[in-house]
């Protein structure tokens, strides 16, 4: 009789444990309830195409509210930030991202433009800083005995002297 009652108690306890375990599984799968901060951390990196130039975390429209709810649901389902952002890109296009996708073209074009700009500046400075050859004997040459470099100018000077 005693054995029977201890057996019953054992099975009752086992049943209770299994039941508790079964109830706990969905709770564990869902994870902790995401807070508004968790949702907004991702939402502020997204822009709804309907209300361009307004980040999702502060956008007051119904469409944006639905998107925030979707982020909350996905977070509760255990999806990561990267997975959620990828879902939004797949469904609504890359333009929903606050930052453009990390593509090499995104960096190549500005890099080439900057390099080209620097090259133009350097070449420009080189040209502008290069002293121009003094040909016509400026004011500093008036008192100088140095012969003019240009034969034409030299001849002209000579002719002028003859006329005096």
Partner 1 sequence: MTDSTTPAPRRGVPLWVQIIIWVGLLGLLGIVALGLRRTQQGTVQPGQKIENFSLPMYTGYQHEGKSEVHLEDLRGKVVVLNFWASWCKPCEQEAAEMEQAWKQYEPTGKVVFLGADYVDTEPEARVYMKKFGITYANGPDLATKISQYFRIKGVPETYFIDQEGVLKYVQVGPFTSVDQIRSQIDKMLSE
Asked if 100 touches partner 1 (CB under 8 A), the answer is no
In the list 38, 54, 55, 92, the residue contacting partner 1 (rule: CB under 8 A) is 92
**# residues near partner 1 by CB under 8 A:** 38
CB 46 within 8 Å of CB 96? yes
Stretch that binds partner 1, among 23-31, 36-44, 103-111, 137-145 (CB under 8 A): 137-145
Cα separation of 32 and 81, whole Å? 15
Q: Does 26 bind partner 1 (CB under 8 A)?
A: no
Work out which of 93, 101, 110, 147 binds partner 1, going by CB under 8 A: 93
Task: Output the smallest distance, CB 33 to partner 1, in A.
Answer: 18
Say whether residue 60 binds partner 1 (CB under 8 A): no
47: which strand partners? 55
- Residue 51, Ramachandran bin (φ over 0: left; ψ between -120 and 50: alpha; else beta): beta
Choose among 138, 139, 56: nearest CA to 95: 56
Distance CA 73, CA 88 (A): 13
Regarding 162 and contact with partner 1 (CB under 8 A), the answer is no
């Amino acid at each position: 009789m005693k054995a029977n009652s201890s057996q019953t108690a054992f099975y009752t306890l086992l049943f209770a444990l299994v039941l508790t375990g079964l109830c706990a599984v969905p709770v564990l799968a869902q994870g902790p309830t995401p807070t508004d901060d968790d949702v907004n951390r991702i939402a502020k990196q997204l822009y709804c195409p309907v209300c361009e130039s307004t980040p999702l975390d502060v956008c007051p429209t119904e469409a944006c509210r639905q998107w925030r709810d979707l982020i909350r649901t996905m977070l509760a389902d255990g999806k990561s930030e990267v997975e959620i952002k990828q879902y939004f890109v797949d469904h609504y296009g890359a333009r929903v991202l606050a930052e453009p996708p990390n593509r090499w073209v995104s960096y190549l074009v500005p890099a080439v433009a900057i390099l080209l700009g620097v090259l133009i500046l350097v070449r420009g400075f080189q040209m502008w800083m290069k002293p121009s050859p003094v040909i016509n004997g400026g004011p500093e040459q008036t008192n100088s005995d140095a012969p003019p470099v240009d034969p034409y100018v030299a001849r002209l000077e000579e002719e002028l002297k003859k006329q005096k």
